[in-house]
């Protein structure tokens, strides 16, 4: 029964135009749209994935970075399981503002939420304004997962979702094993995962995706 699939809510936060929707689209349907279409209010998608042999559903909440929509965001953050804070590696202010986005999560109801800092647009290396080191230091200090990606080329997306986020979900939320201590019988610390797509909001079904169907 579909309704019995455990679901986990992922929320994308970050300044306007840093690439939240683009990262989501790359992960969700392995697509990239070069023309900017600002998110209005909030977009929602869901995607079924398999972690350690267990089917789960990811509820993907894509927020709008534009100032006028900010007041809507806290109510969506409250029951999130995974918080993705995105900045643009070519815009220093977008990195500085990550603190603001992290502060917005102060009313989060879950103390086991997973936080992830994502530096996007690494295809624009010549315009880099935020070093890997400073972002890594910030993430370490806060206890966040950290990954740089390019939604445009897809670089780092699979590493981010499959190797880092799903691994941490398996460990923290005890997905796919009974005691939650050891996720992997072979002890190689690599989760076995398979993705399947669940479409929403009239999106066209498409095979592939960053992490499945390869």
Q: By the criterion CB under 6 A, which residues form the site for ligand GTP?
A: 14, 16-22, 33-39, 64-66, 120-121, 123-124, 150-152
Q: How far is the CB of 62 from Mg ion (least distance, A)?
A: 6
Parallel, antiparallel or unpaired: strands 193-195 and 42-51: antiparallel
| Min separation Cβ 51 and ligand GTP, Å | 26
Q: Is residue 22 close enough to count as binding Mg ion by CB under 5 A?
A: no
39 sits near Mg ion (criterion: CB under 5 A): yes
Distance CA 184, CA 170 (A): 10
DSSP string, 90-141: T-HHHHHTHHHHHHTTTT-S-TT-EEEEEEE-GGGGGG--S-HHHHHHHHHH
Closer to Mg ion by CB, 59 or 169: give it. Answer: 59
Nearest to 14 by CA among 125, 130, 124, 127: 130
Of 93 and 196, CB closest to Mg ion: 93
Q: Residue 183, interface with Mg ion (CB under 5 A)?
A: no
Does residue 46 interact with Mg ion by CB under 5 A? no
| Residues that bind Mg ion in the complex, under the rule CB under 5 A | 20-21, 39
């Amino acid at each position: 029964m579909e309704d019995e699939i455990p679901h986990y809510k992922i929320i994308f936060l970050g300044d306007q135009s840093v690439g939240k929707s683009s990262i989501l689209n790359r992960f969700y349907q392995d697509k990239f749209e070069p023309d900017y279409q600002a998110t209005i209010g909030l977009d929602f998608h869901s995607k079924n994935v398999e972690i350690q042999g267990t089917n789960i559903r990811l509820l993907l909440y894509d927020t709008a970075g534009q100032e006028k929509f900010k007041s809507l965001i806290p109510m969506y953050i409250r029951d999130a399981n995974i918080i993705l804070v995105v900045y643009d590696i070519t815009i220093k202010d977008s990195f500085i503002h990550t603190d603001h986005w992290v502060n917005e999560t102060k009313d989060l109801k879950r103390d086991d939420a997973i936080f992830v800092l994502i530096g996007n647009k690494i295809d624009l290396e010549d315009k880099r304004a935020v070093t890997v080191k400073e972002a890594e230091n910030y993430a370490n200090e806060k206890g966040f997962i950290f990954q740089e990606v390019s939604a445009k080329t897809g670089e780092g997306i699979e590493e981010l979702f499959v190797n880092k986020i799903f691994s941490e979900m398996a460990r923290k939320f005890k997905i796919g094993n009974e005691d939650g201590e050891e996720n992997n019988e072979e002890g190689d610390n690599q989760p076995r995962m398979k993705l399947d797509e669940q479409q929403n909001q009239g999106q066209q079904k498409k095979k592939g995706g960053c992490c499945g169907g390869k």
